[in-house]
Structure 1
Amino acid sequence: MSGAAPRVAATRVLDAVLHHGRSLKAELTRVLPTLPDARDRALVEAICFAALRQRARADAALTAWMPKPPGRRDGDLRALLHAGFAQLDPLGLAPHAAVAETVDAARGIGRAHQAKLVNALLRRAQREGLPEAGADAAWPGWLRDRVRADWPDDADAIFAASARPAPTWLRVNRRRGTRDAYLARLRDAGIEAASDAALADALRLPESIAVATLPGFADGDVSVQDGAAQAVADALAPPPGAHVLDACAAPGGKSAHLLERDPSLRLLAIDVDPGRLARVRDTWQRLGVGEGVDPWASARVADATTPAAWWDGRPFDAILVDAPCSATGVVRRQPDVLLHRRPGDLGALVALQARLLDAAWAMLRPGGVLLYATCSILSAENAGQVEAFLARHHDAATDPLDARFGRPSGGGRQRLPGEGGMDGFYYARIVRAS
């Protein structure tokens, strides 16, 4: 395959994300399988993430270096230039190849008449480097202001951590072997990793890695899951054989983790979207847990905000509400979040979270535990949400979590992006009075 082909593919993905509101994950899922060479797939993914993380610097270069920078009607040209800049900095690819193949890609997207322009701009970037921009420059102003208001002493560190690539975290499947045994398998394969004392099933790799290269991945021996998400199982900590609800289950990693630890759980995983629930079942099947394996585990399409439509009336001992949120804690893994969020989104999300919490509370037995979790760093979705919930429900009280889960915040704990090498995450463990 020509070296221009992955650049064309990366350009198509970036154009869809930058100019048409598409999800980076969805576009990569669509485009990567069309590339037969694993090296090309890895290159496309690396270019797209790097380009989105340094979007503000690339835009500053185009504004400074062009009398009329490409607009929406020239979105593919703008996306191609972002892809070209990313290859030079931060990816550091060989400049000759990066420039030549990107110029060839201009022809591949129907921009042959602008190949000289592309060459000139990339050569200038090679000589001068891109203009510097603050780590917060990619954040929309309204969201940047909220982060600074919520975390005045930590905002700069949040923005900096969110602009850096994230390490790869693995979760070892207890049903298939021990963490130490899997760590030895990684080292035999030439893959460096380290365990984490605070997370019993976790291993951390310093760099990203293709899952196909992980020993036993296809067989379900291991999953890719950030350490902050793995901590959910410890925060919920259902007793053996408990009746558990995962109220927003897709894509299934957290419910799978619970089942890996305790096959006796009577666990119900629900999601309102049939396509997303199918991902839960796929995850369970690969890992050898859930339906068809564990007699008390099941998954079904259901809306957690309307339990009257599906709940059989048997109270749950433990409920996980891993709520839809702004995803501001995972920008380093989902840089397109900053393109898609709008000011009106936050109010709608806060209202949905409140409905989920109230509906879940009605299904929880006295003495039961509800874990509220988000991958947000915004107070309105986290500490503020829990404080409002406690004010509505006088039979509710928070059960303090320890420092493994971050810093105290309202009735829960907040981990900020990059702390402990993990994503930003919020946890609140709420107990119903007996």
Structure 2
Amino acid sequence: MLLTQTLACETLFAVLGGQNLTEALGTTWRQNPNLTPQQRGAVQDISYGTLRHLGLLEAVLQQLATKPVKEQEVRILLLISLYQLQFTRAGAHAVVDHAVEVASKIGSGKAKGLVNAVLRNFLRQQAELISAAQKNERGRFSHPKWWLTAMKQAYPKQWQQILQANNSHPPMTLRVNCRHTSAEAYLARLNEVGITGRILGPQAIQLDKPQAVDALPDFAAGWVSVQDWGAQAAAYLLDVRDGQRVLDACAAPGGKTGHLLELAELDLLALDADAKRLERVSNNLERLQLSARTACADAAEPASWWDGQLFDRILADVPCSATGVTRRHPDIKWLRRPDDFAELQCQQEKILDQLWSLVASGGKLLYATCSVFPAENQAAVAAFAARHPDAIAEPLQHPAIPADLIRDGQGGQLLPNADHDGFFYALFRKAAA
């Protein structure tokens, strides 16, 4: 536990300094290549869990510390220790003893007494401290105040549901490759190896417990992929048919690319501006035994990559705040800032306008985000439609998509819940010239 507390402390020090959690954990793994799977799992759980409940933990710490803890490393150590004591089965005495030892090795090394006192006081008053922390909305929902305000304004009836979903553990959902088998048949195969779950849609199975992909029958042979049910809606909504020329404009890591190719024989170009992430698209397609052209380029700069032939279908899964997948990336809550949205909106607008010029007459473009903020969703597509009179909003209808899609104006919003993450979709058809 001593090592896992130390590494979790280092990881969160990087995250709260501005680095995203995926990158911070990647650095931790590279610098500590000999960690056991159990140690890696513990560091990951502490890191994710502390960020998931950070508002509550900070409210508890504020009650316990007579004055603000100035040394950031010590403050983080206290927060991760409080997380362990409140939310895990780790032995309380071991958590406290190891935290005191870690305190002697970080910062100035003079915080042993503070760490010992704070954690032991928490154990003595645990229920009262948690109750008091939850009286404050930031403590109860573990989201920044500006985020709370924005959700109340956008979703006056559902805001609490959204925030609670953000703080939950995400489900593991599979997309069954319809070229190989059905969801019903694959679920039966899972049951044979002791894995249980339930069918959400024609290709979607949600597992009762997360599994390593190596445990999934024929995963390596491309029979199944890991993909949230809400994300699976994109390929269905785009309405692809055999022989069509299709652009997946922001393709990495390739989940939607693979799904499109499973549904139809396509001439598909997968585009992404990040070469490293684009490699994941190729790797996913190779596992699925599917093929597409790939290009490392900026979707907003078609002059650098477009061959002059129009597309029948374009998937514009644009860069966004990713606030709909917060439970998978809890660092988003604490790294996002209100002024991020203006820059993101500029990117989204430029990509949309450039891609629309590449859609063939009668062709369709699907705008997609994994956001729950209207500025990136309803407002963005309304502005797009106003700029492009030839963009005709199409109904978002398909029997395979989640039934709780909230249709609003020219798009539809999925809010995060037990079945899926948060996504927004809007489908436009180009009027005949």
TM over 0.5: yes
Structure 2 contact 55–138 (Cα < 8 Å) conserved: no
Deviation per CA, 1:106-162, whole angstroms, max 9, x where unpaired?
345467543343233223333322533356553333333222211122112211221
Deviation per CA, 1:62-102, whole angstroms, max 9, x where unpaired?
2211123323xx22222222221111222233323333343
The corresponding residue for 1:77 is 74
Deviation per CA, 1:372-429, whole angstroms, max 9, x where unpaired?
01011111111111111111111111111136361112211111111x5211110111
Counterpart code for 2:389 = H
CA-based RMSD of the aligned residues comes to 2.2
Structure 2 contact 240–263 (Cα < 8 Å) conserved: no
Q: Does 1:58 align with 2:62?
A: no
Structure 1 contact 16–22 (Cα < 8 Å) conserved: yes
The size of the alignment, in residue pairs, is 419
Structure 1 contact 231–405 (Cα < 8 Å) conserved: no
CA positional deviation for 1:288: 2.6
Deviation per CA, 1:271-314, whole angstroms, max 9, x where unpaired?
11222212222222333322xxxxxx111111111112211111
Deviation per CA, 1:6-33, whole angstroms, max 9, x where unpaired?
2221111111112x10101111233246
Mean CA deviation greater in 343-352 or 211-220: 211-220
Counterpart code for 1:256 = G
Structure 2 contact 138–145 (Cα < 8 Å) conserved: no
**Partner SS, residue 413 of structure 1:** strand
The corresponding residue for 1:247 is 249
Q: Percent identity?
A: 41
Q: Does 1:274 align with 2:264?
A: no
Counterpart code for 1:28 = L
The corresponding residue for 2:340 is 345
**Partner SS, residue 262 of structure 2:** helix
Unaligned ranges ≥5, structure 2? none
Structure 1 contact 193–204 (Cα < 8 Å) conserved: yes
The corresponding residue for 2:386 is 391
Q: 1:190 to 1:41 in 2, by over 3 A?
A: farther
**Partner SS, residue 348 of structure 1:** helix
Instruction: Give runs of aligned pairs for residues 404-415 of structure 1, distance below 5 A.
Output: 404=403, 406-415=405-414
Structure 2 contact 317–368 (Cα < 8 Å) conserved: yes
Counterpart code for 1:300 = A
Q: 1:111 to 1:181 in 2, by over 3 A?
A: farther
CA positional deviation for 1:260: 2.5
Mean CA deviation greater in 96-105 or 274-283: 96-105
The corresponding residue for 1:172 is 176
Which of 178, 186, 191 is the matching residue for 2:190?
186
Which of 373, 397, 401 is the matching residue for 2:396?
401
**Partner SS, residue 366 of structure 1:** strand
Instruction: Give runs of aligned pairs for residues 140-179 of structure 1, distance below 5 A.
Output: 140-179=144-183
Which of 426, 429, 432 is the matching residue for 1:428?
426
Hey, what's the Cα distance between the residues in 2 that align with 1:164 and 1:156? 13
Mean CA deviation greater in 217-226 or 408-417: 217-226
Structure 2 contact 182–202 (Cα < 8 Å) conserved: no
Hey, what's the Cα distance between the residues in 1 that align with 2:337 and 2:209? 32
Hey, what's the Cα distance between the residues in 1 that align with 2:143 and 2:351? 28
Structure 1 contact 240–265 (Cα < 8 Å) conserved: yes
Hey, what's the Cα distance between the residues in 1 that align with 2:232 and 2:189? 21
Hey, what's the Cα distance between the residues in 2 that align with 1:140 and 1:201? 36
Counterpart code for 1:69 = P
The corresponding residue for 1:285 is 286
Structure 1 contact 168–204 (Cα < 8 Å) conserved: yes
Structure 2 contact 81–99 (Cα < 8 Å) conserved: yes
Structure 1 contact 4–108 (Cα < 8 Å) conserved: no
Structure 1 contact 386–410 (Cα < 8 Å) conserved: no
Q: 1:95 to 1:218 in 2, by over 3 A?
A: farther
Which of 349, 357, 367 is the matching residue for 2:352?
357
Q: Does 1:139 align with 2:143?
A: yes
**Partner SS, residue 421 of structure 1:** coil
Structure 2 contact 56–138 (Cα < 8 Å) conserved: no
The corresponding residue for 1:204 is 206
Q: 1:43 to 1:190 in 2, by over 3 A?
A: farther
Q: 1:346 to 1:103 in 2, by over 3 A?
A: same
The corresponding residue for 1:234 is 236
Mean CA deviation greater in 280-289 or 111-120: 111-120
Structure 1 contact 248–321 (Cα < 8 Å) conserved: yes
Hey, what's the Cα distance between the residues in 2 that align with 1:416 and 1:52? 21
Structure 2 contact 73–107 (Cα < 8 Å) conserved: no
Instruction: Give runs of aligned pairs for residues 299-338 of structure 1, distance below 5 A.
Output: 299-338=294-333
Structure 2 contact 178–263 (Cα < 8 Å) conserved: yes
The corresponding residue for 1:4 is 2
Structure 1 contact 70–78 (Cα < 8 Å) conserved: yes
Counterpart code for 2:175 = R
The corresponding residue for 1:43 is 42
Q: Does 1:16 align with 2:14?
A: yes
The corresponding residue for 1:293 is none
Unaligned ranges ≥5, structure 1? 291-296
Structure 2 contact 254–284 (Cα < 8 Å) conserved: yes
Deviation per CA, 1:217-263, whole angstroms, max 9, x where unpaired?
4444432221111111111121112111001111111101112233x
**Partner SS, residue 202 of structure 2:** strand
Hey, what's the Cα distance between the residues in 2 that align with 1:151 and 1:422? 18
**Partner SS, residue 16 of structure 1:** helix
Q: 1:47 to 1:67 in 2, by over 3 A?
A: same
CA positional deviation for 1:349: 0.9
Counterpart code for 1:142 = W
